[in-house]
Chain A
Amino acid sequence: DAMVIQNPRYQVTQFGKPVTLSCSQTLNHNVMYWYQQKSSQAPKLLFHYYDKDFNNEADTPDNFQSRRPNTSFCFLDIRSPGLGDAAMYLCATSRVSGYQETQYFGPGTRLLVL
């Protein structure tokens, strides 16, 4: 009964070689988020989708893109990974209501850049 699923769990890529990480959810939440988390640091929001509306954080590098083809799926594309992009990438979802809704996280994808 996994709710937020990320694939793959581990991804190895080469410097400059594009990579795509995927996230799917069974919660039917209309908001999906991508976070980057480096070792011993807190998660850092990259961007989020409210339905099909894309919201980019001001300090997210242009190297990072995202796609959300439908409610259930969201992708993170890293166009030209650098060594500094090695990190855990976390997908999260929430629903919209009058309160600040809880964000539920997936298990993460660990990205290694060689």
Chain B
Amino acid sequence: EDQVTQSPEALRLQEGESSSLNCSYTVSGLRGLFWYRQDPGKGPEFLFTLYSAGEEKEKERLKATLTKKESFLHITAPKPEDSATYLCAVPWAGGTSYGKLTFGQGTILTVHP
């Protein structure tokens, strides 16, 4: 059974204090890994898609990396506006190219000024 586990569940940082969020997965035949940001009361906002081990993508203060068993979301010098829940998701291995995503439970990031 596909599993996606995110850690930590919650992370509190001071503004400027860099850190990383982890997403570990067990799927047979990874067909992509997605990172989303979700603000309270809003829908998930797409951040990155990673398809193969060794791939890296960056956007402003965020950088996502992928290995064969996990993905990291690195946050460099975070600001209070980076506070949100960060979700990772992988396609269900038994599905089609457009099918169900298995989501992790998310990491709640709080950045204090």
Binding site for B on A (CB under 8 A): 4, 6, 31, 41-43, 45, 48, 50, 55, 57, 88, 90-92, 94-108, 110
Contact = CB atoms under 8 A, between A and B. Distances in A.
A100 B46 contact: no
Contacts of A57: 100
B73 to A, nearest CB: 16
Contacts of A42: 87, 103-106
B97 A103 contact: no
A103 B49 CA distance: 10
Contact of B97 (A4, A6, A91, A100): A100
A45 B46 contact: no
B34 A97 contact: no
Interface in B29-50: 31-32, 34, 36, 41-46, 49
Interface residues of B, number: 24
B113 interface: no
Interface in B64-113: 87, 91, 96-101, 103-106
Nearest to A96: B98
A6 B49 CA distance: 24
A43 B32 CA distance: 18
A98 B97 contact: yes
B32 to A, nearest CB: 4
A101 B45 contact: no
23 contacts: A4-B43, A6-B43, A31-B98, A41-B105, A42-B103, A42-B104, A42-B105, A43-B87, A48-B98, A48-B99, A48-B100, A50-B98, A57-B100, A90-B44, A91-B43, A92-B43, A96-B98, A100-B31, A101-B98, A103-B34, A103-B101, A105-B44, A107-B43
